[in-house]
Amino acid sequence: MYFVNYSYYVYKNQQKKGQTQFTNVKSNVLSTLLLFLGKMNYSVLGFFIPFLSMWVAVLIKNRMCRSILIFSLLLLVGCKEDSTSKKVEEEPREVQVVDSSKIEIVTRRTFKSFKGMADSTFVRLADYNDGFAYDLRYATDNNFLKAQVYDCAECYTRVKTVKALIAANTDFRKRGVKIKFFDCYRPNSVQYKMWKIVPNPQYVANPVKGSIHNKGGAVDITLVTLDGDELDMGTDFDFFGKRAYHDNLDLPQEILDNRKLLKETMEKHGFWSIRTEWWHYNLASASNDQIANFKWNCN
Please compute, for residue 154, the number of CA atoms within 13 A of its CA located in the half-sphere on the CB side.
17
Q: Which of 215, 191, 222 is nearest to 285 (CA)?
A: 215
- Strands of the sheet with 271-274, listed across from one edge: 133-134, 177-183, 218-225, 277-283, 271-274
H/E segment holding residue 28: helix 24-39
Stretch that binds Zn ion, among 47-55, 147-155, 168-176, 273-281 (CB under 5 A): 273-281
| Helix/strand/coil for 287 | coil
Nearest distance, CB of residue 193 and Zn ion, angstroms: 16
Could you tell me the smallest distance in angstroms from the CB atom of residue 219 to Zn ion? Answer: 7
Instruction: Using the rule CB under 5 A, give the single segment among 39-47, 107-115, 167-175, 277-285 that binds Zn ion.
Output: 277-285
The least distance separating Zn ion from the CB of residue 213, rounded to whole angstroms, comes to 6
Question: 189-193 contacts: CB < 8 A, separation 24 or more?
Answer: 189/293, 189/295, 190/138, 190/149, 190/150, 193/149
Taking the complex as a whole, the smallest distance from the CB of residue 280 to Zn ion amounts, in Å, to 4
Choose which of 138, 187, 194, 220 interacts with Zn ion (CB under 5 A).
220
Using the minimum distance from each CB to Zn ion, give the nearer residue, 169 or 191: 191
Which residues lie below 8 Å from residue 217, measured CB to CB, with a gap of 6+?
A: 157, 158, 161, 282, 283, 285, 286, 287, 289
Q: How many residues bind Zn ion (CB under 5 A)?
A: 2
Distances (CA, A) of 117 to 121, 131, 205: 7, 21, 30
Q: Output the smallest distance, CB 206 to Zn ion, in A.
A: 15
Stretch that binds Zn ion, among 130-138, 152-160, 200-208, 213-221 (CB under 5 A): 213-221
Comparing CB distances to Zn ion, the nearer of 76 and 238 is 238
Q: Residue 176 in contact with residue 225, Cβ under 8 Å?
A: yes
| Region near Zn ion per CB under 5 A, out of 60-68, 115-123, 257-265, 272-280 | 272-280
What Å distances lie between residue 106 and 91, 102, 228, CA to CA? 34, 12, 22
- CB closer to Zn ion out of 143 and 248: 143
- Taking CB positions, which residue lies at the least distance from Zn ion? 280
Identify which range of 94-102, 108-116, 196-204, 275-283 contacts Zn ion by CB under 5 A. 275-283
Residue 98 CB, shortest distance to Zn ion, in Å, is: 51
Closest contact distance (angstroms) between CB of 215 and Zn ion is 12
Residue 280 sits in the site that holds Zn ion (CB under 5 A): yes
Interacting residue ranges for Zn ion, rule: CB under 5 A: 220, 280
